[in-house]
Amino acid sequence: MRGFSRMLLVVAMIVMVAGPAAAAQGGGVPILLYHRFGPTVVDGMTITTSVFESHLKYLKDNGYTVIPLRRLVDWCRRKAPAPPAKSVVIVADDGHKSVYTDMLPLVKKYRVPVTIFVYPSAISNAKYAMTWDQLRALKKTGLFDIQSHTYWHPNFKKDRRKMSPAEFAKSVDMQLTKSKARLEKQLGGTVDLLAWPFGIYDDYLMKRAAADGYIAAFSIERHHVTPADGIMKLPRYLLINADQGKAFAQILAGSAPKRNLVY
């Protein structure tokens, strides 16, 4: 009986310490991943600007709190307490110009923090991408954090098949270090978060990212983030235009159906 009582005491202590935080989160925090915006859907990654605003309105009307991505990372690294109940994170990949023209006005209207993952080779270069001045304008609002999406968005799975091991290792380090250095030089601040292109990662890539100065990295697996997730492969929900109404509510509740992504 004495051993059983001791076990009950330990369980009770665990519940008191971990229970409230876990219960408050209801199973973790969803990261909502966007790419580009516009008046109409021109490809699978476009979400109409009106649908994006409907997402922000739903979050506001239903008591959700949009927190900075770094706040979530700190929780996962055990460097901050659990976020408030019904917390959500918003991010966008690639640096498409519609982030400046369409996303920015709504972010300012609803006053929500956003993290943008960009690949510097496209900035002020590709017609579809933002300019460095536009990225600086985003950062100046205090609502946008700009982080790395590698240097030119490679497909690491295909690169590994066509390159020698030495060539692949050199290419990976270039993608990780050159992106970080370019963003820090152009925009200032610290770049230590990474979004995996196409959501592709493995043990080698995660080790290289950590060695090159990244403290967290992000995939596109569809479930909520908890501290139990690997810090170099934190999941995000890749959103499409059909993710509205009931489908959007299911994502927030953690009950959205799975999608198969093939690269």
CATH number at residue 75: 3.20.20.370
Query: Is 260 inside a domain boundary?
Result: no
Q: What residues make up the domain containing 200?
A: 29-253
Query: Is 167 inside a domain boundary?
Result: yes
Query: Is 24 inside a domain boundary?
Result: no
Full-model pTM: 0.89
Query: Is 6 inside a domain boundary?
Result: no
- One-letter amino acid for residue 260 of the chain: N
Per-residue pLDDT tens digits of the chain, which is 263 residues long: 344 334 333 333 333 333 334 334 458 999 999 999 999 999 999 999 999 999 999 999 999 999 999 999 999 999 999 999 999 999 999 999 999 999 999 999 999 999 999 999 999 999 999 999 999 999 999 999 999 999 999 999 999 999 999 999 999 999 999 999 999 999 999 999 999 999 999 999 999 999 999 999 999 999 999 999 999 999 999 999 999 999 999 999 998 887 766 44
Query: Is 23 inside a domain boundary?
Result: no
Query: Is 20 inside a domain boundary?
Result: no
Q: Is 218 helix (H, G, I), strand (E, B) or coil?
A: strand
Q: Is 91 helix (H, G, I), strand (E, B) or coil?
A: strand
Query: Is 169 inside a domain boundary?
Result: yes
List the one residue out of 71, 70, 72 whose CA is nearest residue 29: 72
Q: Which two tokens stand for residue 50?
A: 């009106």
**For residue 55, is it left (φ>0), alpha (ψ between -120 and 50) or beta?**
alpha
List the one residue out of 112, 6, 8, 57 whose CA is nearest residue 244: 57
How many folded domains does the chain comprise? 1
Query: Is 38 inside a domain boundary?
Result: yes
Q: Which two tokens stand for residue 136?
A: 């600086």
